[in-house]
């Protein structure tokens, strides 16, 4: 997406300022020793001016789209066999081995947790301080909706990977844990509040020019996440309604540049020894058959006929991930059709016709705005709930490849349970949930017991 030179300069200046702002939060959820930095902005300075709060919002978006997306995508990808490791780094070995012995100090387990809590904290502070600064009403509205969106996505990402989650931070290191389902419900509430905020007062041009630069369609992204988390929470009517409200011709992307690289490219292509590569068949077992003409195979995967050090077949990666500054979709439009299909199948009275119609929209797609086009024949399998759910899962894995939802999907579709034994590479997933990081357990007395697997 092209932006003017003036907007690019504004973005770069905001990003430089936001790095200072983000540094305020790095110790909030960590047990690491804090050291005074005489050059760092204080929280009071950060939230005392229009420039400070706008820069903080840019930093929030930057933190989520770079560090956050790395952990969101990479961590469950290895657990669910979307990717196979190609490195000797211990954190990646531990993830691919999995099992009951996955350590609490694994850097992926810790990175995903701590980064999402940082996002939550920054979003909370933006919302709390926006009203204290003189801003255009549309700029204030945009900042609040933007903060609620990113807080919701951070909570939703935690709830997809951990059995219990934190939805409100605490400066006293005693944040309360809630069930993952309550986490999804909290995210939905935040998204509904964000939608109401924008309905009452649309985001200003000042907000767009300073924060999203036209890359993120705030309204449609909020609706898309509302549909996603309602599905995960089992609110099927609400999921269908939200998904139907999304404009499928609209796109939202995380944009990258030479200073802020595509985080998945950086993990797969940046070094001579990449950290992981995608598994063939999108990591699904052979029973999930793909038409050789399915355009998503060629979009995402490049045949290698190689295996990694543990004998897992791997491919090269394409799609959104093979250009160092290539944008990543915040969501893929056809996720909405897959949500509609699945929710119709899981309702108390399944609607097979509606589910099949939505599924066919995905299978026969030729004009996806991101060019993720299956372009194959409509569904012709058994007209049963079980058969259609398997088809939905097959298409979720291929359509939404490396979007961070594979572990949530694997559990929700009742795929085979992991045994708990490490290094069982035949398993579709090697964990159900991740253990809670040491950095949380060592500082927060409310940290629950780890899940057994």
Whether the predicted pLDDT of 382 surpasses 90:
yes
Give phi and psi for 259, each to the nearest 5. -90, -20
pLDDT at 144: 98
Long-range contacts, stretch 44-49, CB < 8 angstroms, 24+ apart: 46/20, 46/21, 47/125, 47/129, 47/132, 47/133, 48/133, 49/133
pLDDT at 204: 98
pLDDT at 48: 83
Dump pLDDT digits (tens) for 211-222: 999 999 999 999
**What are the residue boundaries of the structural domains of the chain, listed by start?**
48-259+277-443
Q: Angle 300-304-309 (CA atoms, 0-180°, nearest 5)?
A: 105
Rounded Cα distance, 177 and 87, in Å: 34
Percentage above 70 pLDDT, the chain: 90
Buried b (16+ CB within 10 A) or exposed e, 149-180: bbbbbbbbbbbbbbbbbbbebeeebebebbeb
Which residues make beta-bridge pairs with 85?
A: 276
Which residues make beta-bridge pairs with 301?
A: 317
CB 249 within 8 A of CB 207: no
Q: In a 10 Å sphere around its CB, with 0-12 CB exposed, 13-18 middle and 19+ buried, how is residue 107 labelled? A: middle
Q: What is the DSSP string of 115-165?
A: HHHHHHHHHHHHHHHHTTS---HHHHHHHHHHHHHHHHHHHHHHHHH-SEE
DSSP label at 103?
-
pLDDT at 3: 39
Q: What is the mean pLDDT of residues 52-75?
A: 98
Whether the predicted pLDDT of 25 surpasses 70:
no
The distance from CA 376 to its chain's CA centroid, rounded to whole angstroms, is 28
Would you state the structure tokens that stand for residue 113, as one six-digit string? 């947790």
Q: For tokens 């502070």, what's the residue? A: 125
**Mean pLDDT over the full length of the chain:** 92
Whether the predicted pLDDT of 380 surpasses 70:
yes
Q: What is the mean pLDDT of residues 57-63?
A: 98
* SS3 call for 327: coil
Q: With bands split at pLDDT 50, 70 and 90, how would you rate the model's confidence at 9?
A: very low
Of the options 1.10.3720.10, 1.25.40.390, 1.25.10.10, 2.130.10.30, the CATH number for the domain spanning 48-259+277-443: 1.25.40.390
pLDDT at 271: 80
Rounded Cα distance, 359 and 395, in Å: 8
* SS3 call for 229: helix
Dump pLDDT digits (tens) for 158-208: 999 999 999 999 999 999 999 999 999 999 999 999 999 999 999 999 999
Give phi and psi for 178, each to the nearest 5. -130, 165
- How far from 233 is each of 133, 159, 226, 270, 412, CA to CA, in Å? 36, 10, 10, 37, 10
Which residues make beta-bridge pairs with 328?
A: 254
Whether the predicted pLDDT of 23 surpasses 60:
no
Rounded Cα distance, 236 and 262, in Å: 34
pLDDT at 18: 46
pTM listed for this prediction: 0.92
């Amino acid at each position: 997406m092209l932006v003017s030179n003036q907007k690019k300069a504004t973005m770069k200046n905001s990003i430089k300022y936001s790095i200072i702002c983000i540094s305020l939060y790095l110790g909030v959820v960590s047990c690491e020793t804090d050291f005074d930095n005489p050059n760092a902005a204080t929280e009071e300075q950060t939230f005392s001016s229009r420039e400070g709060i706008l820069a903080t919002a840019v930093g929030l978006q930057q933190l989520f789209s770079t560090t956050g997306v790395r952990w969101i995508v990479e961590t469950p990808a290895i657990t669910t066999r979307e990717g196979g490791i190609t490195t000797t780094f211990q954190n990646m070995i531990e993830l691919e081995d999995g099992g009951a012995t996955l350590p609490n100090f694994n850097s992926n387990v810790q990175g995903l947790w701590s980064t999402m809590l940082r996002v939550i904290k920054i979003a909370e502070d933006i919302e709390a301080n926006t009203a204290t600064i003189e801003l255009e009403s549309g700029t204030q509205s945009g900042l609040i909706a933007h903060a609620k969106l990113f807080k919701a996505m951070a909570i939703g990402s935690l709830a997809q990977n951990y059995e219990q989650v934190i939805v409100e931070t605490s400066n006293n290191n005693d944040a309360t844990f809630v069930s993952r389902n309550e986490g999804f419900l909290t995210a939905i509430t935040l998204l509904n509040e964000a939608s109401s905020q924008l309905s009452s007062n649309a985001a200003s041009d000042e907000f767009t020019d300073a924060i999203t630069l036209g890359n993120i369609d705030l309204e449609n992204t909020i609706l898309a996440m509302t549909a996603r988390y309602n599905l995960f929470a089992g609110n099927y009517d609400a999921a269908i309604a939200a998904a139907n409200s999304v404009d499928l011709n609209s796109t939202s992307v995380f944009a990258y540049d030479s200073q802020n690289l595509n985080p998945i490219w950086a993990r797969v292509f940046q070094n001579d020894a990449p950290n992981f590569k995608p598994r063939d068949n999108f990591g699904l077992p052979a029973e999930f058959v793909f038409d050789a003409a399915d355009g998503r195979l060629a979009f995402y995967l490049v045949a290698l006929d190689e295996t990694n050090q543990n004998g897992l077949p791997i491919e090269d990666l394409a799609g959104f991930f093979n250009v160092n500054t290539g944008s990543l979709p915040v969501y893929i439009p056809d996720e909405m059709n897959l949500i509609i299909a699945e929710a119709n199948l899981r309702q108390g009275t399944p609607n097979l016709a509606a589910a099949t119609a939505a599924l066919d929209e995905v299978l026969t797609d030729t004009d996806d705005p991101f060019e993720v086009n299956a372009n194959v024949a409509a569904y012709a399998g058994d007209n049963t709930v079980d058969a259609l759910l398997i088809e939905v899962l097959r298409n979720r894995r291929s359509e939404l490849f490396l979007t961070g939802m594979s572990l949530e999907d694997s559990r929700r579709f009742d795929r085979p349970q992991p045994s708990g034994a490490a290094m069982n590479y035949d398993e579709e997933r090697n964990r159900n949930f991740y253990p809670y990081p040491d950095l949380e357990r060592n500082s927060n007395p409310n940290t629950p017991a780890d899940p057994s697997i």
